[in-house]
Amino acid sequence: MKIDKALEAIEALGDNHVATSANTPLRDDAFTLSDAEKIELIKKDVHHIMETLGLDLTDDSLQGTPQRVAKMFVKEIFSGLNPDNKPTASTFNNTYQYGEMLVEKNITVYSTCEHHLLPIVGRAHVAYISNGTVVGLSKMNRIVDYYAKRPQVQERMTMQVVQDLQEILGTQDVACVIDAKHLCVNSRGIRDIESSTVTSEFGGKFKDPAVRKEFLNYIQLDTQF
């Protein structure tokens, strides 16, 4: 009975997508194995899952799946767990003295829900007000992508993007809004295909309602070519 209750609590936490920490919960020994060693182990695990489900792993179509999934986990969709893959942050001096808000919007987000290991797909909008230091525009896309490539909770991802940029730019004046669909909500469970989740983190000057409004207005601008 006790175990049933514990399992129920664990399921409820996941289905409600409650984040328990601002940092990705990683163990200290997370990177003692090499990527190649991890791929070898995960390959066996995926094989075991598929076999347990009753699939015939000798079938031509399924034969390569364990290897493909293991490589995809380590090298692609969860590659942002490894600090070695963190984008290098080269900054520049703001010599042209642009003191207004800079917004990089509609950054594509492909992440994975850490409670169900199903995709999170959406858009991130990132803004900062320079205090003298600027980063290349594509850097913001790369930072979003780095934190997206982990088992994630959307609130945490939003905070991690802001915290990282605050560190790189040496200012608190950074904001991020993410609007994303969670396939664990859209395709299973409640099966609501229309709903999306919006999360935001406003640092420094972005806590001022007028500054925040300016940022939100830019996000809504429709860029036509």
Catalytic positions, written as ranges: 113-116, 154, 182, 184
| 115 counts as binding Zn ion under rule CB under 5 A | yes
Rounded to whole angstroms, what are the CA distances from 217 to 55, 103, 207, 222?
51, 11, 15, 10
Residue 48: both structure tokens together: 């075991």
Which among 23-31, 94-102, 112-120, 157-165 is the span making contact with Zn ion, rule CB under 5 A? 112-120
Contact window for Zn ion (CB under 5 A) among 44-52, 110-118, 144-152, 199-207: 110-118
Which CB sits closer to Zn ion, 134 or 184? 184
**Residue 126: closest CA among 197, 174, 171, 91:** 174
Smallest separation, CB 184 to Zn ion (Å):
3
Strands 101-113 and 151-152: parallel
Task: Give burial (CB, 10 Å; 0-12/13-18/19+) of 161.
Answer: buried
Exposure class string for 212-224: b at 16+ Cβ within 10 A, else e: beebeeeeeeeee
Name the minimum Å distance from CB 43 to Zn ion. 25
Query: Counting contacts by CB under 5 A, is residue 116 touching Zn ion?
Result: yes
Q: What's the rounded Cα separation, in Å, for the pair 92 and 140?
A: 14
Number of residues counted as binding Zn ion (CB under 5 A): 4
| Beta carbons of 173 and 131 less than 8 angstroms apart | yes
Instruction: Name which position in 39, 69, 109, 113 contacts Zn ion (CB under 5 A).
Output: 113
Does 139 bind Zn ion (CB under 5 A)? Our answer is: no
Question: Is 153 one of the binding residues for Zn ion (CB under 5 A)?
Answer: no
Structure tokens of 31? 């990177």
Residue ranges in 164-223 that form contacts with Zn ion under rule CB under 5 A? 184
> Contact between 150 and Zn ion (CB under 5 A)?
no
What is the smallest separation between the CB atom of 116 and Zn ion, expressed in angstroms? Answer: 4
Binding site for Zn ion (CB under 5 A): 113, 115-116, 184
